Amino acid sequence: MSNLRFPALQELASEERKVNHYNGKRVTTMLNSHVFTGRTIREYLSDEAYKSLMASIKAGAKIDRKMADQIAAGMKAWAEEHGVTHFSHWFQPLTGGTAEKHDSFFTIKSDGTAIELFDGDALIQQEPDASSFPNGGIRATFEARGYTAWDPSSPAFIMESGYGKTLCIPTIFIAYNGESLDYKAPLIKSVAALDKAAVEVCRYFDKNVNKVTITLGWEQEYFVVDESLANARPDLLMCGRTLLGHSPAKGQQLEDHYFGSIPERVFAFMQDFEQEAYKLGIPLRTRHNEVAPGQFECAPIFEEVNIAVDHNSLLMDIMAKVAKRHKLKVLFHEKPFKGVNGSGKHNNWSLATDTGVNLLAPGKTPRTNLMFLTFFVNTIKAVHDYADLLRAAIASAGNDHRLGANEAPPAIISVFAGTYLSNVLDEIESRVKEKFSEQDEVILKLDIHKQIPELLMDNTDRNRTSPFAFTGNKFEFRAVGSAANCGSSMTILNTIVAQTLKEFTKEVDALIAKGEKKEIAIMHVLRSYIAQSKKIRFEGDNYSEEWAKEAEKRGLSNFKTTPEALNALITDSAKELFISNGIFSARELEARHEIMLEEYIKKVQIEARILGYICTNHILPAAINYQNVLIENVRGLKELSLGEDSFRAQLNLLKIVSNHIQEINDNVEAMIEARKVANNNSNTHERAEMYCHQVKAYFDKIRYHADKLELIIDDKLYPLPKYRELLFLR
């Protein structure tokens, strides 16, 4: 689609296409070149420091303070060889983005000598002036200190930005009393809880298991638009999504974009950010077009969950930066454009033992089959028992546009197991006898491991409408928003599975203590879990109207909006769960709830302001200009005395335009009033509800009239880039 209204852009774009291709470089030669890991650590650290670092990474323990100076010196030497001048503690505050505060190595000693220094203290802990990060009331202003503390399990890396290079130390961010203020601290705690609970369960099957690692492979969807066009739209610039815009005649209905050939300009961008990602050790593997025009996806090879979460946050940051080099803007918002699909971030999650077994991959022997079934059933039970918490984990103003809009999983949490495994579960459940006999062990001798891959291969057994689907050797949490920090959903998933496994162990041990054979005891508990969690399993079309009705009958929750969904975080059972697993204190939970509500309010508030502003400053003036053109025209035709019939169409148009102008004006005024009323309510939850139901209610009304005007007003007079100009990059 040519771009007559914004002609300069095409030239800029063609310049950028030529740069930043791989130029014959292999990925393996770039991988980890900017990460303090593997061989690099070995090279730059003494034997003693190396051993100490490795030991604390393995045990998840604190670094020996005596060793910290040595490790810091090694890191500094390595970084300086790469031209690094500054270091930064890198963290993920509850703003959803990443945060860095740079300090130079350079310092002046008390005797006046200027030197470059980076010691153990600087590595281990910093006190950024972080009083402006969201804290949900945890930090009173008189005690605004926040600390960042090194997380050795995620390696340090060198961040390049323009010509600047910074040594980044991944850290957790906590208040002076240890309360967490970020995504990473609770995630690490949840990893420890699940590791412990899962190892205990593994020991029923294999005494050699000492550690269970949680793995995450995310798939990141995003939109790409021309930067200059985006800059001409205050809504894209300030809210990351369009608040107005009529659907183009051609959207995604022909389904010609999905897996289609990647537009050259976007392809250059992809290659560029991939190379930046490889340097930082982010193992990107997949790239392709997504369903909507202008929409794409990338995915790495899965990694340990803490590292995978860091890598996702880091990549989003890199993509935004690299896009600028290509005069592009990348949109991570869940719903940047009305009428075409929104973006998600599928979180593929599994568990792996230190003996090399994927606990969610069907086993090859009856014994490993039972181990697989144990983790499979426990995960389903966890989702069943804590579905509302999973829903809360993915709640955000952006994701509300997606969940339940017939393009992404609904707001109803359910689990897809696949036909074959559903039958296996039903079969186990149907054994109603008091005791399992040897004969029942036949179930465990089923060739699950052979059946599953075959079913998956022909793709008939893949349900792409489910929010939480089993996909052969992992669960895929598909309802996570594209802009989200994966830490939030992973923390909650890990915690609920840890809790379920703990209860499972207790129940099995009780049966064994009564003299039951181990395998039979396990089967008994699994059977009861299958029965108890049955209502969360759904194999059909999650987008359908019938499912919403059926789910209601089953008593499943369907929280359509964020303020409502977030309530689950502060119930007594949530507090009990998070406190007993050592993830959050009650105060931390309440703070998080408050922060998420505040974030919701602010997002909707900003959108409301921008919408009012665009209407008043852009749309209405353009409409009035066009009105004047019509008035002039009618006046001229009248002068020619050609009769009423000669300007009937113009008069009619004038009436229509005037009506839309009036409607927009009135609704914008009413929206401003609604905002004032909401702002006067000091109860955060009530204020969020008011923004959700009273303020936001005007968005669609205003949009309806503005989008109609877009269709009527002279193309040259319309001030905003249109969907057809934004969505079809070449």
Q: How far is the CB of 288 from ligand ADP (least distance, A)?
A: 9
Minimum distance, C-beta of residue 245 to ligand ADP, in the bound complex (Å): 29
DSSP assignment of 469-525: EE-SSSEEE---BTTS-HHHHHHHHHHHHHHHHHHHHHHHHHHHHTT--HHHHHHHH
Contact status: 346 vs Mg ion (CB under 5 A) = yes
In the complex, minimum distance from the CB of residue 584 to ligand ADP, in angstroms, rounded to a whole number:
25
Exposure letters 400-428 (e unless 16+ CB within 10 A, then b):
bbbbbbebbbbbbbbbbbbebbbebbeeb
Q: How many CB atoms lie within 10 A of CB 617?
A: 12
Least Å distance, CB 183 to ligand ADP, is 19
Distances (CA, A) of 421 to 81, 345, 365, 575: 54, 25, 16, 33
Q: How far is the CB of 472 from ligand ADP (least distance, A)?
A: 7
Displacement of CA 645 from its chain's centroid (Å): 58
Q: Could you write out the DSSP letters of every residue in 603-629? A: HHHHHHHHHHHHIIIIIHHHHHHHHHH
- Asked if residue 474 binds Mg ion (CB under 5 A), the reply is no
Q: Are 401 and 342 in contact (CB under 8 A)?
A: yes
Helices (H), 204-300: 227-231, 234-239, 264-279
Look up residue 83 and give its two tokens: 């031209």
CB 241 within 8 A of CB 398: yes
Give least dist CB 487 to ligand ADP, A.
16
Stretch that binds Mg ion, among 17-25, 144-152, 160-168, 344-352 (CB under 5 A): 344-352
Kindly state whether residue 350 participates in binding ligand ADP, applying the rule CB under 6 A.
yes
DSSP string, 535-561: GGB--S-TTSHHHHHHHHHHT-----S
Nearer Cβ to Mg ion (86/346)? 346
Find the part of the chain contacting Mg ion (CB under 5 A) among 231-239, 346-354, 639-647, 658-666.
Answer: 346-354
Contact 84, 165 (CB under 8 A): yes
Contact 477, 492 (CB under 8 A): no
Candidates 143-151, 324-332, 339-347, 644-652; binding stretch for Mg ion (CB under 5 A): 339-347
**Segment contacting ligand ADP (CB under 6 A): 295-303, 482-490, 659-667, 718-726?**
295-303
Question: CB-hemisphere CA count at 13 Å for 244?
Answer: 30
625 CB-near residues (< 8 Å, 6+ apart):
717
Burial annotation 362-378 (CB, 10 A radius, 16+ → b, else e): bbeeeebbbbbbbbbbb
Is position 473 an interface residue for ligand ADP (rule: CB under 6 A)?
yes
Give the range of 341-349, 387-395, 399-407, 537-545 binding Mg ion by CB under 5 A. Answer: 341-349
Q: Which does 299 bind (CB under 5 to 8 A by kind): Mg ion, ligand ADP, none?
A: ligand ADP
Smallest gap from residue 348 Cβ to ligand ADP (A):
3
Q: Applying CB under 6 A, does 1 fall inside the site for ligand ADP?
A: no
φ/ψ region of 178 (left if φ > 0, alpha if ψ in -120 to 50, else beta) reads left
* Least distance between ligand ADP and beta carbon 88 (Å): 29
Closest to 377 in 3D by CA, of 489, 475, 511, 510: 475
* Residue 643 in tokens: 């009769």
Look up residue 45 and give its amino acid: L
Task: Please select the residue that binds ligand ADP; options are 474, 537, 660, 687, rule is CB under 6 A.
Answer: 474
Residue 592 binding partner per list ligand ADP, Mg ion, none, with a CB distance cut-off of 5 to 8 Å that depends on partner kind: none
At 174, is the secondary structure helix, strand, or coil? strand
Q: How many residues bind ligand ADP (CB under 6 A)?
A: 14
Tell me the per-residue interface mask from 199 to 218 with ligand ADP, x by CB under 6 A, - otherwise. ----------------xxx-
Q: Examine residue 379 and tell whether it contacts ligand ADP (CB under 6 A).
A: no
- Residue 471 or 505 with smaller CB distance to ligand ADP: 471
Closest CB 683 distance from ligand ADP, rounded Å: 41
- Contact flag: residue 396 with ligand ADP (CB under 6 A): no
User: Among ligand ADP, Mg ion, none, what does residue 171 contact (CB within 5–8 Å per kind)?
Assistant: none
Applying CB under 6 A, which of residues 160, 179, 219, 588 lies at the interface with ligand ADP? 219
Per partner kind, with CB cut-offs from 5 to 8 A, the member of Mg ion, ligand ADP, none near residue 86 is none
Out of 12, 19, 77, 301, the only residue in the binding site for ligand ADP (CB under 6 A) is: 301
Residue 146 engages ligand ADP in binding (rule: CB under 6 A): no
457 lies in the binding site for ligand ADP (CB under 6 A): no
345 binds, among ligand ADP, Mg ion, none (CB under 5 to 8 A by kind): none
Interaction of residue 345 with Mg ion, rule CB under 5 A: no
Contacts of 114 (CB under 8 A, 6+ apart): 106, 107, 108
Partner interacting with residue 474 (select from ligand ADP, Mg ion, none; CB below 5-8 Å by kind): ligand ADP
| Contact letters for ligand ADP, residues 354-373 (x by CB under 6 A) | ----x---------------
CA dihedral sign, ordered 386, 391, 394, 396:
negative
Q: Does 542 bind ligand ADP (CB under 6 A)?
A: no
3-state secondary structure labels for all residues of 382-408: HHHHCHHHHHHHCCCHHHHCCCCCCCC
Q: Which is nearer to Mg ion, 182 or 290 (CB)?
A: 290
Cβ neighbors of 104 (< 8 A, separation 6 or more) are 85, 86
Run of H or E residues at 359: none
Residues that bind ligand ADP (CB under 6 A): 215-217, 219, 299, 301-302, 348-350, 358, 471, 473-474
Residues that bind Mg ion (CB under 5 A): 346
